[in-house]
Each structure stands twice: as C-alpha cells, then as structure tokens.
Amino acid sequence: FSAGCESGLVCVSLVGCHKWCLLMLIIQRIFDEAIVPDYSLEITVMQSAIDFGKNFLNSFFNKKDVDAVSTFLADDIIWITPNEIRHLRSVRSIHEFLREAIQEDPKVYNVDIASIRSAPGLETTTIAVFDVNLIPKHEESSINIRCTLAFHREGVGFEIVYVGMSRKYLRTDVEQ
C-alpha cells in the first residue's frame, strides 16, 4: 500500500490475483451503488469490449463449446460464482473448469442482454456488467443473472481476465 501518488489519490500496490480481486470488488461496489461516471469519450473502446462480452456470453450459455469459450479468456483468470472463487492459472485448468461448468448445466440457453453498464478501469482494462436473461430452448421461464466481466486490451483485441457470475434472481418491474 502506498499513499501520495502524482494524481493525489491513494494508490494500492498489490501483486497478481490480489490486485485483480481488489479492483473487481471496487468496481462491483461502484455498480452496486449506481455511481457510474460519464465515460462518453471512451465509447469506441467500450463498444468493442461490450461486443466481445456479448459474444463470450453467447458462446458460454448457448454454444456450450469449451474451445470456443476459452478463446475469449486470458490464460490466467479469476472466475467467481455464488459458490466459489477460482483463480485459473493455465489453459488446462480453464478447460477443465469449463468442462465441469458445462456438465453441471448442459442446457442450451438463448441469451437476452437486458442491460449493460460499463466503465474503463486501468489503462488497458474495461469493466462491463451485463444483466442477462437466459431463456431455455424448450421452457417459458427465463433465468436472470448478473455477469461482471473485466477485459484486458491485448493489441487490437481483448481477453477476459475476470468473470463474476451472480446467483439466479427474479427480475422486478423496478429494474426494467
């Protein structure tokens, strides 16, 4: 921890996983309290990250293809579910995790994005929160989740370095 950065802000200097966990907790707190600054100047970068995130969600929930899903992910990611926090540090561990997740819920869902909130993070990072309706192919009721993704800009593309999945919840009229 260090204070007195050039910007006049208090800076946190942690390593690896701890830095990302702290960043994600701060970002989730900002979104939970609906304090979303105006980042309209970042619209071109944000749009690309948002499209990347939409494609990831469709691959994960609709295609259920481990190889396709893993192409969106960095080789070292943090994946948080309501039941556990995983730091996946290799392509092999990411593939194993994805296979387990798909086996646990093999249903194919149509992905309906209800809302998106996004903000740039660090220099090469963008955070986006997707409120998602997962609609089963042969059932009428949808499953609602909130998914927070952190994207790292890599050259001209992105890779996901953090995935946070909420518990399933019922949408209310107030949220819409």
- pLDDT, tens only, 66-99: 999 999 999 999 999 988 999 999 999 999 999 9
Q: What's the pLDDT score for residue 140?
A: 67
Angle of CA points 3, 5, 7, to nearest 5°? 130
pLDDT tens, the chain, 176 aa long: 333 344 333 344 444 445 555 556 555 555 554 444 444 334 344 447 899 999 999 999 999 999 999 999 999 999 999 889 999 999 999 999 999 999 999 999 999 999 999 887 778 889 999 999 999 877 667 888 999 999 998 877 899 999 999 877 665 554 44
